[in-house]
Structure 1
């Protein structure tokens, strides 16, 4: 036993170990460089597509996210193959074994496969893009990323929802075309209640060219009539995509200020009915 130990060439072992570690370091340095350069190339390419108007900036951002995801998975696989090669393993046998194992676990990973396939169809059919305001299932918000397995949606309360693509069976996309701003105002009973409607109509005509992202003159409707003398009004206006919230805020604030100048107070809007959000991607 002692003789076997003394026969170990410690110097050769140290050199071999050092070379092995050096190769590992080189592999991971190359991996880091290729990853950074690859992401940069993908980002530049899709930015150029958007600048040349070959696709919208939101579509470009969506496809850029997907390509980054595919590139990252491919690069990780190549690194694993290279590392296994350092151990002297037969790569062909490894890939054959991986195929068998993959087939065996494929039945248990059908949800993963379903996520990927559904994700490709979502992108192929252009159902959603990064920056779109969507509703799917019980989730509503702005799409931040569309990846191979999941779609990330930022809710209006700031929550980031990770939704498996297979669960996106139906989508309501609110961002295709213009949007509609809606403001409800309850005018309390007062001696001036009959004039409130005319005041609001006059103010809406003035605001048509003053509020950014407003595409037409707001329309004023009487939406209900009760036993009291209160006046219930609904203001409707067409806005640019994803600008409905800022327009609603501006309409409400300016109408409230004008009515206050005329001596008419209106109730405060709740944060849920009157959200202070204006998304930019």
Structure 2
């Protein structure tokens, strides 16, 4: 009895598998899936080429986009297009297998709502990423200080941003942690140099030498924009006075400007006989101390 039942079921299975219509349907479905994947890949490739060409043409038009902003927008558009096209391809592939897309999407919406309440940090990261990109807070290639990390922006995503420190470390920062940004690339920099000068030196002579050096710097260093300006005596220290010099530089190059300005001024001052001031210690003998004490007592009396 059992053997006849098993044989009957195997016969039905063989009839099902040997049916030409089944294999034609499987072949047709496989061809449709391959076509969907191929078309999706071609569409993504074409859109990416069009995006590159669009930004090239925009560079020649009346509306100019900064290079750093262009790189950010290009990467964002390409990523979004890829996500949308491949998502649509997955939906179409599911339809090939006769899945009901409506209930799946409705269920995904409910599940997404439930997950959203438990993933508030993720939602915060994505929303902050949108604001960073569309408000142009910073772009790829900018030198920034964000979330306590200082370096060059390598990539901006909807959830995280990648910042490379000047010493080479790659920092992956969640966008939700970026509550304040200092962008050193969006404006020209300002080099601030304090020059310590001995009290024996003449202030007017020191300023003349600094001005003489400053006039040569824009030709020697192209990132220094204009002749450095002397603000004046900034401070009076124990053994010297401080003369402050400022100079406008190209973005991100204010620190290089400070190093070179300091080097040129120090070299010229030294050659002019004005040396770097050294700390001073005044010593008194025992007799001198006694005399000072007697003098103070007489003054008080």
Q: TM-score w.r.t. structure 2 length?
A: 0.70
RCO comparison, higher one (Cα < 8 Å, 6+)? 1
- Within the alignment, does 1:39 sit opposite 2:48 as a pair? yes
| Aligned equivalent of 2:36 | 27
Which residue of the partner structure matches residue 141 of structure 2? 131
Which runs of 5 or more residues in structure 2 are unaligned? Answer: 1-5, 277-301
Aligned counterparts of 1:134 and 1:239: Cα–Cα separation in 2: 17
The answer to whether the aligner puts 1:180 opposite 2:190 as a matched pair is: yes
Is 2:5 the partner of 1:7? Answer: no
2:228 touches 2:247 (CA, 8 Å); kept in 1? yes
What pairs with 1:1-281 in structure 2 (closer than 5 Å)? 1=6, 2-10=10-18, 12=20, 16-57=25-66, 58-183=68-193, 200-219=210-229, 226-227=237-238, 235-251=245-261, 254=264
More helix as a share of residues: 2
Contact persistence 1:183–1:252 (CA under 8 A): yes
The Cα shift of 1:89 comes to 0.4
Q: Which runs of 5+ in 1 are unaligned?
A: 267-281
Separation in 1 of the partners of 2:36 and 2:259? 55
Q: CA RMSD in A?
A: 3.6
Q: Equivalents in 2 of 1:93, 1:215: separation in Å?
A: 64
Residue pair 1:141, 1:153 contacting (<8 A) in 2 also: yes
Tell me the SS of whatever aligns to 1:130.
coil
2 CA distance for matches of 1:43 and 1:150? Answer: 24
CA contact (8 A) 1:186 1:232 kept: yes
CA change 1:131–1:50 in 2 (3 A) is farther
From the CA coordinates, give the structure whose radius of gyration is larger.
Answer: 2
Q: Per the alignment, in what secondary structure is the counterpart of residue 35 of structure 1?
A: helix
Deviation at 1:198, TM superposition (A): 6.0
Aligned to 1:272: none
Contact 1:182 1:235 in 2 (8 A): yes
Deviation at 1:259, TM superposition (A): 7.0
TM-score where L is the length of structure 1: 0.74
> Shift of the alpha carbon at 1:245?
4.1
| Deviation of the 1:113 alpha carbon | 2.2
Residues 129, 175 of structure 2: 8 Å contact kept: yes
